[in-house]
Amino acid sequence: MVKQQADVVIIGAGIVGTAIARELSRYSVSVIVCDQGADVASGTTKANSGILHSGIDAAPGTLKAKLNVRGFALYQKMHAELGLDIKFTGSLIAATCREEIAALEELAMRGRRNGVAGDIRILSRAELAAKEPGLSPAIPAALWVEAAGIVCPYGAAMAFARNAIRNGAAFLPDCKVQKVVSEAGRVVGLETTRGFIKCRYVVNAAGLWADDVSRSCGDDSFVIRPRKGEYILFDKSVGNLVNTVVFPTPGRVTKGILVAPTTHGNYFVGPNAQDTLDKGDLATTREGLEEIVSGARKLIPSLPLAGAITQFAGLRAVADGGDFIIRPSDKVFGLFHAAGIQSPGLTAAPAIAEMMVELLAEAGLPLTPKQCFDPVEPRPKRFRELSYQERDELIRANPLYGRIICRCEQVTEGEIVDAIREQCGARTLDGVKRRTRAGMGRCQGGFCSPRVAAILARELNMPLAAICKDGAGSALFIGKYSGNEVHEHV
């Protein structure tokens, strides 16, 4: 039976919503996180650059600047605590011409004003060639920022969610909020596709839909405009494309098209920035892909296009005004916005969570720290990361770790079963993919997707034809013979 009452309901199980849930789970309050998607991290969090930004280029005094720097420091702590996939690679911001070197100097000063820790300095051509041999020889100089890195964004959100649930929070998937209900100017609950949820505090972390949530109770104080970014992901086999996150000198609108490694050993280029009116417009375009290729080639000329394994797009949730919107609603008491969280939102998320908890406390939510709060989240077992000796022991304990299902990423049946059975576990092919990496390799699920679908069907006791790629309506296969068809899957 679903719990339909909580002290706080967080709308949106992206990086921001899950970070807030985890932060709140330190206290003796009941928390529900709901999401319209089938899984945690199924919106903007699943398709972004996965960069831990330094905070060097945010305008001083903005929430973006403050929360970015604080968030970066918090990830350094949570890295071990939550077993996150993070690499502190540092970043390079490249001048594409001599004129841009002045801009880099200005950035360095701004970074110091923003409180960015670690080494910040302009590297000469010779230093660059040593640090990043693939960098275009046309780049005269670049700014080295030590305090930067990469993180698996959906992995982080899932770890936040798992730890929040371990500490008492509840997750409601497939739960779209239709209306924030208030009485006498105070939040009393939410009307959702899974029924009414009674609550006195609502955190609006609904990403692209944050303005719709807000408007549902008469608060039209901001508008979210989707801004699309496209990416190309490269196979691990392309060799050592870059060692650090390589940015161009930032433009007016975005940080530009970058080239970066991922925490899993792949590389990507992107994103571009294309305003769109459609919050579901996740389509890549030929023009967009050409744009990011030509942008990335200015940094790394020898882009191994033949090593591309997938292309995808994500949508930034851009608020008018440009800065994050983290504040109580001025229309309804009990509603709090964490909206307009575009870049560097991933980095800032843990700091946004701290700020949100303070706001809730100020508004009268009684926050008593829980004695039993457990901040540690064991990292899921990953066959490919273990020594042969460790693998052998693991298989002896559970033979399912001895059967490889995804050959490209060496994911075992044991890991897939774990991903399905864990708290807020995977229920879809993409859910398994994001938790285990099965299907994320060079064959893109050509080999393992029927096998993973069969494991999902067995573990969830569902017909194979009801197994979806991602959300509702994305069933993979159609039953051919009587007995294996599914007529309606909701």
Partner 1 sequence: MFEAEYDVVIVGGGPAGMAAAVGAAQNGAERIALIERDDELGGILQQCIHNGFGLHRFGEELTGPQYAGRFIRQVAEYPNIEVFLDTTVLEVTPEKQVYTVNPQRGIGRFQAKAVVLAMGCRERSRGAIAIPGHRPAGVFTAGTAQRMVNREGYLPGKRVVILGSGDIGLIMARRLTLEGAEVAAVLEIMPYSNGLTRNIVQCLEDFDIPLYLSHTVTAVKGAARVTEVTCAAVDEELKPIPGTEFAIACDCLLLSVGLIPENELSRSLGIEFDRRTGGPVVDQTRQTSAAGFFAAGNVLHVHDLVDWVSAESETAGRSAARYARGLRAAAGRLVRVEAGSGVRVVVPQRIDCAAAGEYIELYCRVASPERNLTLALTAGGRTLFAQRLPLAKPSEMATLKVPKDCLGENPPEAITLVVKHADRGEEI
Task: Tell me if residue 337 is catalytic.
Answer: no
Residues shown for the chain: 490
Q: Which two tokens stand for residue 171?
A: 């997750």
Binding residue for partner 1, selected from 481, 487, 488, 490, defined by CB under 8 A = 481
Query: Min. distance of Cβ 308 from partner 1 in angstroms?
Result: 6
| Of residues 299-318, those binding partner 1 (CB under 8 A) | 308-312
Cα 257 to Cα 273: distance, rounded to the nearest angstrom: 9
Please check whether residue 226 is in contact with residue 278, taking contact to mean a CB–CB distance below 8 angstroms.
yes
Using CB atoms within 10 Å of the CB of residue 176, give its burial: 0 to 12 exposed, 13 to 18 middle, 19+ buried. Answer: middle
457 binds partner 1 (CB under 8 A): no
Spatial CA neighbour of 317 closest among 245, 218, 212, 179: 212
Cα torsion for 206, 208, 209, 214, to the nearest 10°?
A: 80
402 binds partner 1 (CB under 8 A): yes
Look at residue 59 and give its three-state secondary structure. coil
484 binds partner 1 (CB under 8 A): yes
Binding residue for partner 1, selected from 443, 459, 460, 462, defined by CB under 8 A = 443
Stretch of 9-17, 54-62, 127-135, 400-408 contacting partner 1, by CB under 8 A: 400-408
Angle formed by the axes of helices 449-460 and 429-436, to 10°? 110
Q: Which is nearer to partner 1, 27 or 231 (CB)?
A: 231
395 binds partner 1 (CB under 8 A): yes
| Of residues 263-282, those binding partner 1 (CB under 8 A) | 280, 282
Spatial CA neighbour of 383 closest among 352, 406, 355, 359: 406
Q: Which is nearer to partner 1, 296 or 475 (CB)?
A: 475
Please check whether residue 353 is in contact with residue 12, taking contact to mean a CB–CB distance below 8 angstroms.
no
Cα 183 to Cα 485: distance, rounded to the nearest angstrom: 47
464 binds partner 1 (CB under 8 A): yes
Stretch of 119-127, 352-360, 417-425, 465-473 contacting partner 1, by CB under 8 A: 465-473
Catalytic residue among 53, 79, 264, 487: 53
283 binds partner 1 (CB under 8 A): yes
| Beta strands in 124-280, from DSSP E residues, in sequence order | 141-145, 149-151, 170-172, 177-183, 186-192, 195-198, 201-204, 224-234, 245-248, 258-261, 267-270, 274-275
Q: Which is nearer to partner 1, 254 or 285 (CB)?
A: 285
Q: Which is nearer to partner 1, 157 or 404 (CB)?
A: 404
String marking each residue 354-393 x if it binds partner 1 according to CB under 8 A: ----------------------------------xx-xx-
- Cis peptide, bond prior to residue 271, ω within 30 of zero: yes
Binding site for partner 1 (CB under 8 A): 232-233, 237, 280, 282-286, 288-289, 308-312, 388-389, 391-392, 395-396, 399-404, 407-408, 410, 412, 442-447, 449-450, 454, 464-465, 468-481, 484
> What are the catalytic residues?
53
